[in-house]
Structure 1
Amino acid sequence: MAKTATSKTYDVAIIGAGITGCSTAYYLALQGVRVAVFDRGPVAGEQSGRAWGFIRKQGRHPAEIPLAAEASVLWDEITDEFGFDSTQRVKSGILMPAETAEDEEVVESSYRNAQTHRLTSEILDAKALKAKLPELAGSWRCALFTRDDGHGDPKLSTHTLARGAKAAGAEFFNDEVVTGFTRTNGRVTGIRTLRNTYQFAKVVIASGIGSRRLLAKLGYNLPVQTIRSSVGLTTATTPFTQIAMWAPTTAYRPRPDGSFIIGNGYRNAGTDYDLTLQALTNLRYFLPALKQNQGLLRIGLGRDTVRSLTDLLPGKGKHSPLAEPATNIVKVKQNLAEFRVLFPHIRDLSLADSWAGRIDTTPDLIPVIDRLQGHENVYALCGFSGHGFALGPVVGKQMSKWIVDGAPSLDLSKFKSSRFTDGDYEIIKAA
């Protein structure tokens, strides 16, 4: 194993210190693998520190359900190992209520998928829903409820896994920008940063929205684009429920202090899609998805549009951390107003904070989890489409099995990187 300029050797380089990268580092380090994690910013500096925090199996793409089921077990283990305050993991269930006949079709479709995979999901009628959450106002036809789904704190959890990885021997290089790769006889043998060159046996690219740029340096043009989701945090009230909800026009996660994380509902998501030069490159893959999910995305020009142009200029500016994404405050306030309608008894709750996160997404809204063809020592974990937090631990554990044992223990064929060029993927409604 070659040495770095700091006279240390590593087996695996992980690019990205989000939930997936930190989980992979944690499970590899527990097995004695020498791991180094690189990120151009801090741990959980991007979407892993900005997500809603749902840990769910219900309402998922069928390909993700086996991963989500095992992830639920791992979240229990992580919380048992490090304590509740390390993750704020709560298994109190998630409700998905239906107000209209169209909503009911969405709920019933999710229930059929749940039955196929033997989840603990059930359909509650209006009376049972009222008994489950008496404070909920409105006229509801039914609701999907999965009792062992739940939620946690994304930023806390990612930092916990990073600390666990460090305690097991992993090293973290934050504010260390990876600019490219080194090769020997065509094989990737290391990475270059603005400060140094490091040699490794294997590389895991798990840098979220930055993965596409790095993969392009290896000749891969994956259709992974960036969307922007805005989130709100309410002021606190006396806690009255631990159940999270994904409703037609808003969503929420209760926090231990009585405040709520507020997000988009499933009927009119309201996610922003800033057009960039990179977006045009793979537009043919995304057009069917845009048509299928018409009305759920707001397409326009924003800060990332400008950044995609300035990145074409020479200099090191293109390697700097991205500016804070613009928050769609209009949508956040709309979601808060809808939340107040759900719970009139706390209608005086106000907005304490708001932020936005950049989400790496694929045309079929499920991730790429793969070893790259032509580069047998390079693995790609990207395009999680807003599902990365819940799946992070299981993806990390499967990657550790793949790297150490030679194969994952779960079937990951649906997440192969070649599915887009092969035409082996399905466009579904966003979830």
Structure 2
Amino acid sequence: MPGPRVVPVQGDEHLPERVDVVVIGGGIVGASTALELAERGLTVALCEKGGIGHEQSSRNWGWVRISRRDPRELPLMAHALNIWGDLAARIGKDVGYTRAGILFTCADDQSYAEHERWKANLDDYPVRARMLSGSDLAAVLPGAERLRIKGALYTPDDGRAEPQQAAPAIAEAARAKGAMIFTECAVRGIERAAGRVSGVITERGAIACTSVVLAGGAWSSLFCSPLKVHLPQLKVLNSVIRTSPLQGGPESAIWAMDFAVRRRQDGGYTVASGHENIADIVPDSFRYARQFWAALQQEHKSLSFRLGQRFFQEAVLPKRWALDEASPFEYRRVLDPVPSIRQTNRALASLTNAFPVFANVRIAQRWGGMIDVTPDAVPVISAVDGVPGFFIATGFSGHGFGIGPAAGRLMANLVTGETPIVDPQAFRLSRFSDGSSPRPISGF
């Protein structure tokens, strides 16, 4: 797999006959959900069609941030910051988490004013945030004399963690609490009795259960298709560079229009464009066009649309399949797209122009990752009204790594009937079918 090397997790061998909950998907959200449920004493089987954390959970930038999020996500992200702070001690494994701060730069007066207005969203949270300019900015960003900006929104309580370590570490912690982990074990579908969930059929056999959590990332909409559950979801390709170790680079993560950068635990840096992504035109682009129209109008300058092989690859995917035959998830276990050389080279050149210390840095690796997005760029963390016992946690729209541990806790609340840690109303699946016309909040 050309993608990043992920800490390996050895799957368990023997499938159980019955558990309380089956979690589908071994990314950070699925692993966090399994850990939370296991800590509550439930029996859990986590089933992953490929390897733990092998898709977007290991391919993201590694940012753990409350800054510049959609306001609807802020209550949950505030919980996530607390969880990340204690996570290593809780699970007994290093996830590379550190609060090194994040700066969102402002190119001009208009951008500065926009960031300053957004900062007011944090007034109700115990999170430090301030606008920087002039000498204050220079003190936080040494060596950036050539970065021509008006200022920046600085959140010193934000930070970073290591995507290639986090989901595997959380999954292993879930196993230590009693969960069972099954890799290369695709779930083909759900079985029902008297209208509610009664089990799942995997490629290795059946597991009876009373609840199923789908945390399938970019695959979730396809999984829902045979169940006639409407989940509008598209994918965008983000491309990333990993550099060799470098001395003298910035400690805080930085976002600018032309680049985004954060220091890695190995001394290198993760580098990407600050705004460029590729959107492949696929059959679902037309199927969900009306619901995504507002998002496309807002984000079209950040998207490069292309029509290519992916259209035909997805056009032949079945929308229904027999549970006693191989499913689409068994024929392609990992989404491992080719990264954009052009976009990543341009990002690194812009970074080097701002920070000359990167002039001689070596590119150690490039990879691509498929970000699953919803029409309003807010995740679904919800029960499915038409299928009792079925829950969905997906559509994190590029914001899932940092918020993942709290999303797992909220999902565990919903499965067990506990009082949720935040009001889940904004994350309900039914917003896509109840006439709400969800859309992104401008500027996020």
2:295 aligns with 289
SS in 2 for 1:75: helix
TM-fit CA distance, 1:407:
3.7
Q: 1:77 aligns with which of 82, 86, 90?
A: 86
Return the alpha-carbon distance in structure 2 between the equivalents of residues 258 and 351 of structure 1.
13
Residue 243 (structure 1) aligns with: 252
Classify 1:358/1:6 alpha carbon distance in 2 versus 1 (closer, same or farther; 3 Å).
closer
Partner of 2:243: 234
- Residue 259 of structure 2 aligns with an amino acid whose one-letter code is T
The alignment status of 1:333 with 2:345, answered yes or no, reads yes
Cα distance in 2 for residues equivalent to 1:6 and 1:158: 21
Q: 1:406: Cα distance to partner?
A: 3.6
Contact 2:382 2:414 in 1 (8 A): no
User: Over residues 331-367 of structure 1, what are the superposed CA-to-partner deviations in whole Å (9 max), with x where a residue is unaligned?
Assistant: 0110100110121133111321110101110111010
Which string of whole-angstrom CA distances, capped at 9 and with x for unpartnered residues, describes residues 194-220 of structure 1? 231211010001010111112222221
Residue aligned with 1:97, SS? strand
> Match of 1:213?
222
- Corresponding residue for residue 95 of structure 1: 103
For residues 351 and 136 of structure 1, the distance between their equivalents in structure 2, rounded to whole angstroms, comes to 21
Inter-CA distance 222–405: structure 2 relative to 1 (3 Å threshold): closer
How far apart are 1:421 and its partner, in Å? 2.2
Q: Name the amino acid aligned to 2:279.
A: Y
Structure 1 distance, partners of 2:70, 2:184, is 35
Q: CA deviation at 1:237?
A: 1.2
Decide whether the 8 Å contact of 1:369 with 1:412 is kept in 2. Answer: yes
CA distance in 2: counterparts of 1:418 and 1:404, whole angstroms: 20
Does the CA contact (< 8 Å) of 2:55 and 2:335 recur in 1?
A: no
TM-score w.r.t. the length of structure 1 is 0.93
Q: Is the 1:360–1:386 Cα contact (8 Å) retained in structure 2?
A: yes
Paired residue for 1:305, among 311, 314, 326? 311
8 Å CA contact 1:239, 1:258 repeated in 2? no
Aligned to 1:20: 29
Structure 2 counterpart of 1:172, from 177, 181, 193: 181
- Number of residue equivalences: 423
> Does structure 1 residue 354 correspond to structure 2 residue 366?
yes
Answer yes or no: is the 8 Å Cα contact 2:24–2:213 preserved in 1: yes
How far did residue 126 of structure 1 move? Answer: 2.0
Deviation at 1:375, TM superposition (A): 2.0
- Matched residue SS, 1:294: helix
Aligned to 1:272: 278
Aligned to 1:394: 406
Query: Contact conserved, 2:378 with 2:396, CA < 8 A, in 1?
Result: yes
Matched, 1:412 2:424: yes
Identity of aligned residues (%): 31
CA distance in 2 between partners of 1:349 and 1:288 (Å): 40
Are 2:328 and 1:318 aligned? yes
C-alpha displacement at 1:422, in angstroms?
2.5
In the alignment, the residues of structure 2 paired with residue 122 and residue 411 of structure 1 have an alpha-carbon distance, to the nearest angstrom, of 27
Amino acid paired to 1:318 = P
Matched, 1:112 2:120: yes
- Counterpart of 1:272, as a letter, is I
Deviation string 1:298-331 (CA, Å, 9 cap, x unpaired) is 1112443232023249884733214521211110
What is the one-letter code of the residue matched to 1:296? S
Q: Which amino acid aligns with 1:206?
A: A
Bigger shift: residues 282-291 or 97-106: 97-106
Deviations 1:378-406 (A, max 9, x none): 11111100111111110111222222344
How much has 1:409 moved relative to structure 2? 2.5
Q: What is residue 4 of structure 2 aligned with on the other side?
A: none
Cα deviation for residue 428 of structure 1 reads 2.7
Give the secondary structure class of the aligned counterpart of 2:84. helix
**Partners of 2:111 and 2:40 in 1: how far apart?**
46
TM superposition shift of 1:106: 3.5
Please state whether the residue corresponding to 2:414 is helix, strand or coil.
helix
SS in 2 for 1:181: strand
1:238 Cα offset (Å): 1.4
5+ residue gaps, structure 2, are 1-13
Conserved 8 A contact 2:62-2:401: yes
- Report what 1:141 is aligned to: 150
Query: Of the candidates 18, 35, 39, which is equivalent to residue 9 of structure 1?
Result: 18
Question: For 2:386, what is the secondary structure of its paired residue?
Answer: coil
RMSD: 1.9
SS class of match (2:381): strand
